[in-house]
Copies of this chain bind each other. A is one copy, B any other.
Amino acid sequence: MTKTIGVIGGMGPAATVDFFAKLLAATPAERDQDHLRILIDNNPRVPDRNAAIVGRGESPGPQLAKSARGLERAGADVIVIACNTAHAFGEEIEAAITAPLMSMIDATADAAMARKPSRVGVLAADGCRRAGLYQRAFEARGVEPLFLADELQLDFMQLLYRIKAGDTGDATRLRMEQLATGLNARGAEAVIAACTEVPLVLSADALAVPLISSTDALVARVVAFAIQG
């Protein structure tokens, strides 16, 4: 008997579609009935994570916890969040459920370690950086995380909001590539797409070093967990 995956989504919705599509692609299946049951709460009304973490808005914690509880009640055996920054509220979510919350941060850091890097470049949103999620994950693994310089981080945030508004065009792709390549030039031996909007405009073949997608890392881990039953 396989496990049911519960996905807290909507941050943003297009990243949740991408996460859902990749869950299917990662599942060995020939017919509908071979696929996993997946429950999704695409709740884009969750207050802005970045604003809350920098102290400029309502906390999304209670809504994320409620979403997790609803998914568990509907039958989810394991909960995932299709958003890195929202993991800053992980403890509040875990306190609301009995099912395990499988971390996108840990899955991504572990996937990066397969490349044995000593330095990784991390493309992460302001809130995710401010909350120290990847700093702690990589420091625990003896790896130095490199982030964008402040003025480039501003560009990166603008790109994220453009992607959320539906702009995945060439200019957006090119700028994202430049930001990733810049981290590589500073010595990163791998680049981490530490925000689920990044893979919507950046693919591995655009870079000279490995690109570790947080979406792919968590998808691979949770599908393996769910299939094993």
A interface residues, Cβ below 8 angstroms from B? 10-14, 16-17, 20-21, 24, 29-46, 48, 70-71, 73-75, 161, 164-166
Closest to A43 in B: B37
Q: Flag if A32 contacts B17 (CB, 8 Å).
A: no
A31 to B36, CA, bound (A): 30
A219 to B15, CA, bound (A): 19
Q: Flag if A17 contacts B20 (CB, 8 Å).
A: yes
Taking A13-B29, A29-B166, A74-B74 as given, write out 16 further A-B residue pairs in contact, using a Cβ cutoff of 8 Å, ordered by the A residue number. A10-B32, A10-B35, A12-B32, A12-B35, A13-B32, A33-B44, A35-B44, A37-B43, A38-B40, A38-B42, A39-B41, A40-B42, A70-B73, A70-B75, A73-B73, A73-B74
Q: Flag if B10 contacts A14 (CB, 8 Å).
A: no
17 A-B contact pairs sorted by A residue (CB < 8 Å): A12-B35, A17-B17, A17-B21, A20-B40, A29-B165, A30-B165, A32-B48, A34-B44, A35-B45, A37-B41, A37-B42, A37-B44, A38-B40, A38-B42, A39-B42, A70-B75, A71-B74
